[in-house]
Amino acid sequence: MQDQEFPHIYTVSALTREIRQRLETGFPLVWVSGEISNLRQPSSGHYYFTLKDEGAQLRTVFFKGNHIHLRFKPQEGGQVLCRGRLTVYEPRGEYQLILDYLEPLGWGALAQAFEALKARLQAEGLFAAEQKKPLPFLPRRLALVTSPTGAVVRDFLRLLKQRFAAVEVLIYPVKVQGPVAAGEIAAALDDLGRYPEIDAIVLARGGGSLEDLWPFNEEIVARAIHRCPVPVVSAIGHEVDYTIADFVADLRAPTPSAAVELVVPDKAELQRRLARLGSALSLGWKRRLEAARRHLQMTSRLLPDLRRVLTDLRLKVDEKAETLTRRTGRRLEGCRQQTRLAHSRLYLLSPRKSVTLARQRLEQAGLTLGQRWHLIIKERRRHLDYFQNHLQQLSPLAILERGYAVALKLPEGTIIRDANQMQAGAAVRVRVAKGRMDCEVREVGEF
């Protein structure tokens, strides 16, 4: 009863503090979308604005430490997507949203598209380090692909003139923002890839929002950079801005001005470096020459007097030559004596006499053999003549020569010795000394 009559009474501060605790506990982190109004940025650098829609509004604070890397600048009336925590500002008893992230409404879809394309191109190997082409140490001609009306061209040329004025620059004007920008950039890279004597291409643009830089996140631009035979340097936006073109390019520069420093060396620094290297080389060469000279002097002291050595060697050579001449003479004389003695012995033991005697005997035996062979042949010829004459006397042909004939019975060819063996009409061959005759028997009778 006492509690009902006297309920717990809060002070304003205590109630506000409890509301704050419950609000921060119940809503630790929330995402809110709405329209920016009453935007202000005092000297502290913090953003203060009201986030509203058709039915309500919410006070919002974006501290400088959280938006220092923000890629865009909040604008009055802009539709945004916020992330933060709810709290209560106790002095005024107002609840408000303390932000840690802010992006234009619609950036979420672009971010998803960015990440999806990035993952696909990375899987294909377009970001691989081995695909990167090296830049020349000192290019003779550069190509700058950018908008001709922006400050990028002026800053690029100014800084290039300061670093190395002799480098030529070919400016290829393209749109760097809008729906046709990606196609123009890709066409420019294809054209410059066929252009002779281009050592490097700088693809440049100033800073901007994600929508402004989106042409450099298009796949057509990424593939044009990848197939370009000339090294491509991306210099897009500020240092915190990253695009797909940065990952595909052979080299990324944080800003267009930094691209000049990365691509073109400083002529004055090169001259100073060459001067230092020349001085170091000259000093090193002098030191090395002096050390070599000292070493040569020390070595020459250790070496003997070459003239004296040469004289001694000449004397030794002459002495050896004389000794060799004497020994050679004696050796040759001994060889001559041995040769003469061997010649005498060889003459005494020479087979020439035996050969001459054997030849004479052979000739005499040849004469005797010839004479005996002649007598044998003569005797044999005489016997042959005797037997030939005797054979001729016994030959039937000799009888035929005296007028006789031989009758042969046909067809047997047997000699007819008895006429009674033949009959009239039989065929007979009669052979005479010169030729033969085939006859027919007419009559058989006695002498």
Residue 35: CATH number of its domain: 2.40.50.140
Residue 154 placed within a domain: yes
pTM of the model: 0.48
* Cβ pair 428, 407 in contact under 8 A: yes
**pLDDT, tens digit (0-9, with 9 covering 90-100), for 129-158:** 999 999 999 999 999 999 998 889 999 999
Q: Say yes or no: 100 and 153 in one domain.
A: no
Q: Say yes or no: 260 and 157 in one domain.
A: yes
Q: Say yes or no: 84 and 177 in one domain.
A: no
For residues 79 and 81, give the distance between their C-alpha atoms in angstroms, rounded to a whole number.
Answer: 7
Which structural domain range is residue 430 located in?
400-440
Q: Say yes or no: 38 and 146 in one domain.
A: no
**294: helix, strand or coil:** helix
Query: Total structural domains in the chain?
Result: 3
Q: Say yes or no: 99 and 130 in one domain.
A: no
Q: Say yes or no: 222 and 155 in one domain.
A: yes
Contacts of residue 371, Cβ cutoff 8 Å, sequence gap at least 6 = none
Q: Say yes or no: 94 and 219 in one domain.
A: no
Question: Helix 219-227 vs helix 181-194: angle between axes, to the nearest 10 degrees?
Answer: 10
For residues 187 and 183, give the distance between their C-alpha atoms in angstroms, rounded to a whole number.
Answer: 6
Q: Say yes or no: 97 and 137 in one domain.
A: no
Which amino acid, 338?
Answer: Q
For residues 51 and 97, give the distance between their C-alpha atoms in angstroms, rounded to a whole number.
Answer: 9
**pLDDT, tens digit (0-9, with 9 covering 90-100), for 317-337:** 888 888 888 888 888 888 888
The residue to which tokens 């695009």 are assigned = 243
Cis ω on the peptide bond leading into residue 411 (within 30° of 0)?
yes
Q: Say yes or no: 137 and 177 in one domain.
A: yes
Going residue by residue through the chain, which has 447 residues, state the pLDDT in tens, using 9 for 90 and above: 445 566 778 899 889 898 888 988 888 889 998 999 999 999 888 999 999 988 899 999 999 888 876 766 788 888 888 889 999 988 888 999 999 888 887 666 677 778 888 999 999 999 999 999 999 999 999 999 999 988 899 999 999 999 998 999 999 999 999 889 999 999 999 999 998 889 999 999 988 777 788 899 999 999 999 999 999 999 998 877 789 999 999 999 999 889 999 999 988 888 898 989 998 998 999 999 989 988 888 887 777 777 777 887 888 888 888 888 888 888 888 888 888 888 777 767 767 767 777 888 888 988 888 888 899 998 888 888 888 877 777 777 777 777 778 888 888 878 877 778 787 888 888 888 788 888 888 888 776
Q: Say yes or no: 130 and 254 in one domain.
A: yes
Q: Which of 268, 286, 321 is the last residue of a domain?
A: 268
State how beta strands 406-409 and 414-415 pair.
antiparallel
Q: Say yes or no: 257 and 132 in one domain.
A: yes
Q: Say yes or no: 90 and 138 in one domain.
A: no
For residues 398 and 395, give the distance between their C-alpha atoms in angstroms, rounded to a whole number.
Answer: 5
